[in-house]
Amino acid sequence: MIPTEISSSALSLAEADRLELARALVESVAAERETARSIKEGVRRIDEIASGRIAGLTEEEYRAAVR
């Protein structure tokens, strides 16, 4: 489907269905952005440990933290 067909089909839905579609679309964009932020943060933290700027946890510290 081309965008105009998709828009036309979506606009012909009942109000409740349009609201559900809108919610799903907004959530998909928000989820992608959150995932991108999480990945960026993870890479930053790995870089801090790999470069020696901060020390990672010992195995004992890690196990104590997840209990």
Q: What is the C-alpha end-to-end distance of the chain, expressed in Å?
A: 51
| Pair 55, 49: CB distance under 8 Å | yes
In this predicted structure, what is the pLDDT of residue 17? 93
- Domain boundaries defined on the chain: 14-65
Q: pLDDT 10s per residue in the chain (67 long)?
A: 688 899 999 999 999 999 999 989 988 888 888 899 999 999 999 889 889 999 888 899 999 999 8
In this predicted structure, what is the pLDDT of residue 57? 87
In this predicted structure, what is the pLDDT of residue 27? 87
